[in-house]
Copies of this chain bind each other. A is one copy, B any other.
Amino acid sequence: MKHEDAHQHVHHNHNDCIESALSTAEALCIQQGQRLTKVRRRALELIWESHRPLGAYQLLAKLAEEGFNSAPPTVYRALDFLLGAGLIHKVESMNAYLGCAHADKAHKGYFLICDECHNVMEFDYQDIHAALVEKAARQGFELRAETIELTGLCEKCKGKSVGASA
């Protein structure tokens, strides 16, 4: 078990994350009559193993190492599938993809992205969602999707960069 991601905000057994995500994924796909093929499944695992947003070509390289086809459509098809199934999110401001830990509950991904360590936390904020829907509606706008990406400093990095001077 390699553990290059041990510097997470909250320490946890990341293997559990992955296993849980994968079983959810399988259940969801069966339920929806979708096929979680080898390459799709492996793509999802690799995204989870990184535990921070992974670029399409980074993912493609990992897949290629394992014998999958190495042309871009391979990875973009897998990503499209996983996005469509709600199993991952795209972080628009990073052009990168992140596993969703709550794929079973339909929702939008709200992210806190650390400028320093590039860790990304997904957070749920029903209040904000409701407020946005209402605000949009007041302008005659029917809200369908939200991209909420907040950048700054996570707790750990905030400590590091400020600690010495203060």
A residues with CB within 8 A of B: 9, 92-93, 112, 114-115, 121, 123, 125, 127-128, 131-132, 135-136, 139-155, 158
**Closest residue to A143 on the B side, CB-wise?**
B152
CA–CA, A146 to B112, complex, Å? 9
CA–CA, A93 to B158, complex, Å? 28
In the complex where A93-B147, A147-B147, A150-B147 touch, is A158 in contact with B131 (Cβ < 8 A)? no
Docked-complex contact A125 and B121, CB < 8 angstroms: no
Chain B residues with CB under 8 Å of A135's CB are 123, 125, 128
Given contacts A141-B158, A147-B149, 17 further A-B contacts (CB under 8 A): A92-B92, A112-B139, A112-B141, A115-B144, A125-B135, A128-B128, A128-B132, A132-B148, A140-B155, A141-B152, A141-B154, A145-B150, A145-B152, A146-B149, A146-B150, A147-B150, A148-B148
CA–CA, A142 to B116, complex, Å? 12
CA–CA, A140 to B112, complex, Å? 11
A-B contact pairs, 13 of them (CB 8 A): A9-B140, A92-B149, A112-B141, A114-B141, A115-B144, A123-B139, A136-B150, A140-B155, A141-B158, A142-B152, A143-B150, A146-B150, A147-B148
